[in-house]
Amino acid sequence: MIRAEYLRFLKALNNGGVAADVRKIANLVLQHLNTLIPLSTAQGQRIKKMAKLAQTNWSSVSSEIQPPSKQVAEQTCPIAQLKRLTVGPFRGFAKQEDFDLATQLVLIYGPNGTGKSSFCEALEYGLLGNVAEADSKRFRNQHDYFKNAHTKSFTPPILVGEDNQGNEIIISANETLYRFCFVEKNRIDNFSRIAAQAPSKQSELISTLFGLDVFTEFVRNFTDTMDGRYIDLEGVKAKELNEKRQTLAGHQQQLKTTIPEELRSIEDEEKVLASEYREGCVFIQMVTELNGSENNVGLIKRLEDDLQKPIASKSNVTIAGLQMLKQSIETEIGERNTKQAELSKASQQVSFKQLYESVKKLKESSPEQCPACQTPLSQVRVNPFDHADAELIKLQHLGQVQEEVMRLEGDIGTSLIKLSEIIKTCCSRFPENNQLSVFQTAAGNTAATDRWNSFHQQLSDGFTPWQHAEAQVKQLEDVDNQIDKAEQKRTEKQSELGRLREFSKQIVKLQTRRETANSSKKNAEEAIGKFDTENAQLIADVEAEKATIVQNQAISRAYATFVQKLNAYKNGLPAQLVANLGETVVQLYNAFNRYDAKNEQLSIVRLPLQQNQRLEIAFKNDPATFFDALHILSEGHIRCLGFAILAAKNIKENCPLLIFDDPVNAIDDEHRHAIRETLFVDDYFIRKQLIIAVHGEEFFNRTHQIIGKEAAKKAFSYLFSPRDDHHIRVNSLNRPKNYVLAARELYDTGEYRDSLMSARRALENLSEKAWFHYGKHCDNSDSPISVSRRAPNQPWDLRGLADNLRSKINKSKGDIPNKGQIVNSLSDVLGTDATQPPWIYLNKGTHDETDLPEFDQQTVNQIVTALERLDAALG
């Protein structure tokens, strides 16, 4: 299917005047069709393969599309009908089987799974050269699909046909000629279910009906464009050289603009920085001053060296502090002496105070007795402990004076220690022959007053220790002042150093920028100068690569055009397939629905000719209003519409055959009788060979009745039975299924009772046929047929129906074909009344009774002959 449709696309492409490169792509796809079909768009499978194939084969693939083969070229169908089929091993056929097909009607009957589809696929292979089911199941090698599962072998089926001159010919598969000979159940099934699909899928209903789903999917798997992801359109070497040329252009731009601008900017910033350093100074002068030169140390270095020199620590002693300490000591000593004098005056009281305090302490050890006489406290006149507490309260002021004396002595000691610390500082700073060295530490048990007084006693040099202390503290204070000045100057130098270092940082930045700019300039000049030499091989490679890139670009352009053309062809297929079918589709659809109400019959069918168009219908009672067929019709009616489109195409293409696989499953029960009439009674297919495979026995039997005795006599019927030894069991029909033929054959063999049984069934079917014949040709003024049933679920009263038909047809004002022959035949069967032998025989022949009299041979022959005439009259 895919190959044949693609060949038709090539034919259309060749007639479209496309560029030679597009034709090369088309030929490339044809050459590798089997490889490409299984590949999809997933992960770029097909486009990657196409790119590889095109690059590898571009120089060798032809740009000329070969003239279409016989399979594609338009030609007249060479056969009138099929005569024989030899098949096996093939699919379900494990061994060779021969079928005689030399008749206008071939019927295949068998339950599901008995091999009917294998038979139809053998016809499909013989006529088309492929099997659509194998395509849909994505068999890369269809021979794997055709092999018998048990023998693991495959022999191509052989079809023999008869041409229009009556000559036998071996049929060569030709998909173009015979593709519309087949009506497949699966296609009608898919067509009927497409209403449930998304709108985008519904637009493909014609492709679905004609089995083009596989081709549509094949086309979809071509990515629209072959871009740089799949084929090199720039050149690997050219891309590399271009990247280097971009770098070269960057160097040229640096020399022309970037570096000069940077150097001018640096120069301007150097001037500004030098001016900020000192008005009128230039940059190089500033650099020399700050950083120094070979012969001169720079300011920064000098400041750093100065700041590295240590500064002596301060003594932190002052004359003022010394004088304050002196004043504090003298004041504390004076206050202490005053307090001590006050205590001396109250010395007796002090003694009593000490006594009372001792008494209180004794209370802890002898709380119940007098501490002096050991008299129990309960017997003494005055409680010594209470008396001591009372007297101590009176003497509290003396305690306060004592505490004050103690505090003052402590303060004097502290002040003297401070004085000792000052003396130590003086001795440490002036260690040589220092008169104060003996006063560095406290004098042990020496009274504070004596120690203080010793500082004011004249030494051998004529000066007191205190005077020495004052002189030395004055010197230390002067030194501390010098240190303060030095520290102040150091702070100023640190600040200046920070300022100069900031200038130095800016200098380094500008110098670095200048060095970078000069280095970039040098590098750019070198890169430009040696570019051609260093890249000579790459430049040569680019030149050598150009032809490949030009070719790849041509492939990419050609591929894009090819895919556009292929999609346009795919989208135009529905219009090609259904062009001018509308009127025939309406006729066939109405024939399939002939027993529906008149207002349900169609007036117009608009078949979709473009993508996204709808299948629209208008009914006879309102031909101006159109409806979406998929929305308004039932599934059964949609199936009829699908069959009508396929059958209309078969008729339009003048196909000699109509091969219908399983109409029982394809069409619902309601429409099967009308479809049988359309196939076997109407004139639509009267000149076609019909090959029909069914699994329904009722459809099989009914077909034998509706075609009539003569057609049934010529028809071939094959019965397929469940498999035996893994092979399809095929039997020819031993006895005719047509009841008129069966009645005659049984009569000829003397089986009169069985002949009458078949005759009765024949009359039942022929009565129905006569009823339809009357309804089709009677006058509008004729009365309808009326017939009764014995019970609601019982069949029609056969004699009543046949008698009514004879009467109404005889009296009809319409032009009923073969009217007299029909009436006379019914009269011969019915006799004058129900008691006459013909009807008695028809009744008794169907009942299994004992001791029945023998049937008269002439009467039986009369009945069978009358039924034969009736069958012939009804056509």
User: In 3D, which of 87, 42, 106 has the Cα closest to residue 715?
Assistant: 106
pLDDT number for residue 197:
64
Mean per-residue pLDDT, 831-852:
62
Between vectors from CA 285 to CA 282 and to CA 287, what angle results, nearest 5°? 110
Q: Mean pLDDT, the chain, as a whole number?
A: 86
Backbone angles phi, psi at 133, to 5 degrees: -65, -35
Tokens standing for 269?
């910033």
pLDDT number for residue 318:
94
pLDDT number for residue 135:
67
**Contact (CB, 8 A) for 504 and 290:** yes
Backbone angles phi, psi at 137, to 5 degrees: -90, 5
More confident residue, 611 or 471: 471
pLDDT number for residue 850:
47
Q: For 140-192, write each residue's pLDDT tens digit.
A: 677 888 898 888 899 999 999 999 898 999 999 888 889 889 988 888 887 77
Q: For 247-283, write each residue's pLDDT tens digit.
A: 999 999 999 999 999 999 999 999 999 999 999 999 9
pLDDT of 121 above 70: yes
User: In 3D, which of 737, 741, 743 has the Cα closest to residue 758?
Assistant: 743
Going from the C-alpha of 871 to that of each of 139, 150, 705, 706, 777, the distances in angstroms are 50, 47, 10, 10, 17
User: In 3D, which of 90, 85, 69, 105 has the Cα closest to residue 161?
Assistant: 85
**Hey, which bits of 649-777 come out as E strands?**
657-661, 689-694, 716-724, 727-732
**Cα 282 to Cα 264: distance, rounded to the nearest angstrom:** 16
pLDDT number for residue 851:
47
Confidence of residue 87 (pLDDT cuts 50, 70, 90): very high
pLDDT number for residue 114:
85
Please say whether the dihedral angle defined by the alpha carbons of residues 541, 543, 546 and 548, taken in this order, is positive or negative. Answer: negative
**Cα 714 to Cα 105: distance, rounded to the nearest angstrom:** 8
Indicate the length of the chain as a whole number: 875
Tokens standing for 243?
């990247």
pLDDT number for residue 445:
46
Q: Is 628 helix (H, G, I), strand (E, B) or coil?
A: strand
Task: Compute the half-sphere exposure of residue 64: CA atoms within 13 Å on the CB side of its CA.
Answer: 2
pLDDT number for residue 32:
94
Mean per-residue pLDDT, 435-441:
84
pLDDT number for residue 206:
77
Going from the C-alpha of 327 to that of each of 78, 323, 447, 458, 475, the distances in angstroms are 151, 6, 18, 20, 21
* Residue whose entry in the numeric block shows the structure tokens 């690997």: 236
- Strand-pair partners of 719: 109, 731
**Cα 390 to Cα 404: distance, rounded to the nearest angstrom:** 23
Q: Is 209 helix (H, G, I), strand (E, B) or coil?
A: helix
List the domain boundaries for the chain.
Answer: 79-221+579-737, 319-476, 741-873
**Contact (CB, 8 A) for 590 and 601:** yes
Q: For 36-67, write each residue's pLDDT tens digit.
A: 998 999 999 999 999 999 999 999 999 998 87
Backbone angles phi, psi at 286, to 5 degrees: -60, -40
Burial class (CB in 10 A: 0-12, 13-18, 19+), 798: middle
pLDDT of 425 above 50: yes
Tokens standing for 655?
């196909």
pTM for this structure?
0.62
**CATH no. for 79-221+579-737:** 3.40.50.300
Tokens standing for 533?
């030499």
Share of the chain above pLDDT 90, in %: 41
Burial class (CB in 10 A: 0-12, 13-18, 19+), 536: exposed
Q: Is 329 helix (H, G, I), strand (E, B) or coil?
A: helix
Mean per-residue pLDDT, 614-634:
90
Q: For 530-562, write each residue's pLDDT tens digit.
A: 999 999 998 898 888 898 899 999 999 999 999
Tokens standing for 870?
């009736």
Burial class (CB in 10 A: 0-12, 13-18, 19+), 553: middle
Residue type, 678: T
